[in-house]
Structure 1
Amino acid sequence: MIRIFPLHHYTQSGNLKPPIYFYISLIFLARTWVLFIISAASRSSGSSLLGLFYPDRHNFYLGLISGSIALILFILAGRNHDKYQWVSKLWQIGYYLLIINIAFDFLLQLHVLQLQHFQYSLSASIQLVSIIWIALYTLKSEHLKMCFVRKTLKEEK
């Protein structure tokens, strides 16, 4: 069934824009990249800042790998997907990549909790609640699912 959204939800090329919560979710999923950029911008205290949030460098590198998918989706979200065929095909599988990214981030957070022997931590609790909310939002949002669908002229005929 085709769902019609209000006109302001579409780009000028006729494609559905991703909702604002999609961008907030991507920023959360790419939080290691955000921290890396902030630490690179502050040269003098960059390594101490990374050491504060990621005492184990292994978790930092896993966070960068996990956030790579979100970073790619963030870059692709602002592009005209009809201009290049490879961008359009990558965008169409973006929903599944997002679900994989959410699952990987959730497992990564469980791994970090396991390393801490499941001790209570406010930051870990906030991250777990956030990733569960993002997972529920991603699975339930029809608007988000529909923005990854691209219809070409051949499909419409």
Structure 2
Amino acid sequence: MIYALDEYNNEGFLKPTTYQWLIWFFLCRGWIIFVLSAASRSQNDDVLPILLPNMNELYGLMISSLPIVAMMWMIGLRNRERLRLNRWLQYGQMITAVCLVIQAMITANVILQHAGHFSWSYGITLLILFWSLLYLKTSKRARASFNNVTI
């Protein structure tokens, strides 16, 4: 056992780190914006352009984050009897990395559509995506949380 007992769930699997959850919620920001705009339906025409001015970007973010939403749901269902689910979750690091790259490409495409005009929101988004990809590739703890090894 390499990690503390608190870092394992009741089934004995290593829990994802807090930073992994933050990465996943950031990748699901299209769904969060969609829910926020649906909740404020009376002011929908005013709120949505402020949060995300390009509707095509919203649809791209929502589609690219579907595997992340499914993976977040499946991590809660993980136990020793669900062998197929555990096998699918072994690809979680790769799925997260692919979604990070896809969302970086979507953001870069939006920047190119604005003729390369710098925007702080897109710059910070690309920086967060880059740092998240770097964390995912270098962290042994993040890699170990997707393994099927139990205590």
Same fold (TM over 0.5): yes
Of the three residues 32, 35, 44, the one matched with 1:34 is 32
* 1:57 positional shift: 2.1
What's the CA shift for 1:144? 0.8
Bigger drift between 28-37 and 42-51 goes to: 42-51
TM-score with structure 2 setting the length:
0.90
Q: CA RMSD in A?
A: 1.7
With structure 1 as the length reference, what TM-score do the two structures score? 0.87
Cα separation, 1, equivalents of 2:49 and 2:72: 26
Q: Deviations over 1:22-44 (max 9, x none)?
A: 00001111111101111111111
Stretches of 4+ moved more than 4 A in 1? none
Superimposed CA distance per residue, residues 7-59 of structure 1 (whole angstroms, 9 cap, x where no aligned partner) = 11111211101000000001111111101111111111124322223333222
Q: Percent identity?
A: 25
Q: Which is further off, 50-59 or 29-38?
A: 50-59
Unaligned runs of at least 5 residues, structure 2: none
User: Of 124, 128, 131, which aligns to 1:130?
Assistant: 128
CA distance in 2, matches of 1:20, 1:88: 20
Q: CA deviation at 1:105?
A: 0.8
- Kindly tell me the number of residue pairs found equivalent between the two proteins: 150
- Pair 92,81 (structure 1): closer, same or farther in 2 beyond 3 Å: farther
Give, as a single letter, the amino acid of the residue that structure 2 aligns with 1:57.
M
Gaps of 5+ in 1: 153-157
Q: Residues 81 and 91 of structure 1 are in contact (CA less than 8 Å); yes or no, is this contact kept in structure 2?
A: no
Aligned equivalents of 1:55 and 1:136: distance in 2? 28
